[in-house]
Structure 1
Amino acid sequence: MNSSAELQSILLDPAQSGAYFFAEDDTAALLAAAQAIEFRVADISLQGATDKVELMERLAAGLQIPSWFGGNWDGLADVLRDLSWLPAAPGYLICLRHASGLRVAEPNEFDTLLDVLNEAAFLWADDGKPFWAILPLPADELPDTDDD
């Protein structure tokens, strides 16, 4: 794990924003770094969420999404592009804990979630604002990233 200063520097770089799987053991350090630079942090548990309906409910509650949110992918994309209902912040970090159940039960919905999160990150990066979504997983569940 990088030092807090290194993590803060990475988090502040919009060009690196996106949705990332992350080692569960490193989550506390990443959240602390985000809070130290006054990011708006949403720490959301997906424990027991195994379908799109439950996912949307958890996201709506965790992100304090306004009541007009439609609870669908287009609506989620819209609110993640806006975020005007949240206090202004130098950046945003969404931590989605315990995502394994959803990942296994609804792999297509999970992939759509990643697409929506990455799309939001790229749009925010175009505006010079960091937007991160991290999905902490146990070390044995992390996707292989070797490019061999």
Structure 2
Amino acid sequence: MIQVFDEAPNGLQPAPHDPRMLAAGHQVAVREINFRDVHDKESLMLAFLRGLGLSQTFGRNWDALYDVLTDPESRPAKSAVLLCSYASFRKKHPHLSADLERVMLDAQATAAEAGRSLWLLLEEPDSDTRHW
């Protein structure tokens, strides 16, 4: 069975079950971005600021986000961004998510050209949870 971290990053991919444990076994640093409370570009940038542990000087624009995702000084050579509750965000905000995906996929391609790996993993809440 092929595991996501055994292959090169390839666009937005479904997160494996227990991605943090699998990532640790492959020396992949994982940062989590939660889209549950994202409703505009400002709250999107704040979600990345918090999730990536950025300083308040983060520019909060597409170029700044690209720079952060591709910066070899601040990002490990093998890293994954876990996009939590992204499907719902994408449905509610198609234009904003299209802009974000363009930036993330460009960053992923730039990382690959530099011999680095940037996985973009989609993690959704369990839809089959039991209701008691």
TM class by shorter chain equals 0.7 to 0.9
Q: CA deviation at 1:51?
A: 1.7
* TM-score normalised by length of structure 2: 0.81
Distance 2:64 2:5 in 1: 30
Mapping of residues 122-133 of structure 1, within 5 Å = 122-133=109-120
Percent of matched pairs sharing the same residue: 24
Q: CA deviation at 1:21?
A: 3.9
Q: What 5-or-longer segments of structure 1 have no aligned partner?
A: 11-15, 141-148
TM-score, normalised to structure 1, is 0.73
SS in 2 for 1:95: strand
Aligned position for 1:68: 57
* Matching residue of 1:20: 12
The answer to whether residue 71 in structure 2 is matched with residue 82 in structure 1 is yes
| Offset, 1:39 | 1.3
Q: Deviation digits for residues 28-74 of structure 1, max 9, x if unmatched?
A: 1x332212122111022211212221111011111012332111111
Instruction: Report the structure, 1 or 2, having the larger helix content.
Output: 1
Give the total of aligned pairs: 127
Summarize the Cα distance change of 1:91–1:124 in structure 2 as closer, same or farther, 3 Å threshold.
same
Q: Any gaps of 5 or more consecutive residues in structure 2?
A: 128-132
Runs of 4+ in 1 over 4 A off after TM superposition: none
The DSSP-based 3-state class of the residue aligned with 1:74 is: helix
What's the C-alpha RMSD, in Å, of the aligned pairs? Answer: 2.3
Confirm or deny: 8 A CA contact 2:66 2:107 kept in the other structure: yes
